[in-house]
Amino acid sequence: MNSPQIALRGIERVFHLGDSDVHALRNLNLDIGAGEYVAVMGPSGSGKSTLLNLLGLLDRPNTGQYLLEGRDVTTLSPDEQAQVRSQRIGFVFQSFHLVPRLSAAENIALPMVLAGLPAPQRAVRVKQALKDYGLENRADHRPDELSGGQRQRVAIARATIMQPAMILADEPTGNLDRSTGEEVVRLLEGLNAQGVTLIVVTHDGALGARARRQLRMEDGAIKVDTARDASASAESVNGSAGALATAGPALDGSATAAPAA
């Protein structure tokens, strides 16, 4: 790997709740190269979303450094971070996070509005995105007038409309049935095939096994990294013997992990 697209050095994230501290990320070090396809797995509360939020500049570490394309982004102002996020990063969430009162087309256009792109250019790109994602006859529907799969396609169109260098997806199929989830994963993998870095948090062992690299998080640390630990298999990442052979949902040990609350 040349200089990595993402480099985390000694990242710590502690949440203070009343008089107790939750150490969500502990001395985390991680390199991810441009164009990689990485699955992040591990039990509930192990820090997966916290990691993704940091990578997406939605949150800041308490200590440590995040170099994005060689640039230290931990010391940027909120406005500068928003700029980087808008230009380089696309986010896809489990619960879609669409704006309820905006139509599909308006949701897709939103990042371009925020980035100040001129209306004619926005219109061209939205039209193409609606076509690419099979939403042409749903352009004027609000999110509550769309199916789950259609909502996630709108969310992916919105996440990619600014042509980001990386897509961060936190349980993108968590609210979808298996076949709709498959379709969403294929869309994300298609973007990765075009060179976009794809980082997916998932509880689904079968989905995680599709990535070229797997990380297993436990208690705020990366316990297994198939790129680092030559002997690690997707099985050990899954934390469940024979998981690959019987790949299915919730094989990553989450079912036996005690949730925080």
In single-letter form, the type of residue at position 203 comes to H
Min. distance of Cβ 192 from Mg ion in angstroms? Answer: 21
Residue ranges binding Mg ion (CB under 5 A) = 49
Pairing of strands 197-201, 166-170: parallel
Min. distance of Cβ 138 from ligand ATP in angstroms? Answer: 29
| Dist CA 224 CA 226 (whole Å) | 6
User: Which partner from the list ligand ATP, Mg ion, none does 258 bind, CB cut-off 5 to 8 Å by kind?
Assistant: none
Min. distance of Cβ 94 from Mg ion in angstroms? Answer: 8
Task: Give whichever of 245 and 260 is closer to ligand ATP, judged by the CB atom.
Answer: 260
Min. distance of Cβ 30 from ligand ATP in angstroms? Answer: 15
Query: Can residue 17 be called a binding residue for ligand ATP (CB under 6 A)?
Result: yes
Whether 169 and 197 have beta carbons less than 8 Å apart is answered as: no
Task: Give whichever of 49 and 226 is closer to Mg ion, judged by the CB atom.
Answer: 49
CA 78, 83, 89, 95 torsion-angle sign: positive
DSSP string covering 62-110 = SEEEEEETTEE-TTS-HHHHHHHHHHHEEEEETT----TTS-HHHHHHH
Task: Give whichever of 89 and 129 is closer to ligand ATP, judged by the CB atom.
Answer: 89
Q: How far apart are the first and last CA of the chain?
A: 40
Q: Which residues of 187-200 are buried (b: 16+ CB within 10 A; e: fewer)?
A: bbeebbeeebbbbb
Query: Can residue 15 be called a binding residue for ligand ATP (CB under 6 A)?
Result: yes
Min. distance of Cβ 41 from ligand ATP in angstroms? Answer: 9
Distance of CA 28 to the CA centre of its chain: 18
- Name the residue with the smallest CB distance to Mg ion: 49
Token representation of residue 43:
């039990």
Task: Give whichever of 122 and 181 is closer to Mg ion, judged by the CB atom.
Answer: 181
User: Which partner from the list Mg ion, ligand ATP, none does 17 bind, CB cut-off 5 to 8 Å by kind?
Assistant: ligand ATP
Query: Can residue 22 be called a binding residue for ligand ATP (CB under 6 A)?
Result: yes
For residues 36-75, which are near ligand ATP according to CB under 6 A? Answer: 44-50
Residues at the contact surface with ligand ATP, assessed by CB under 6 A: 15, 17, 22, 24, 44-50, 260
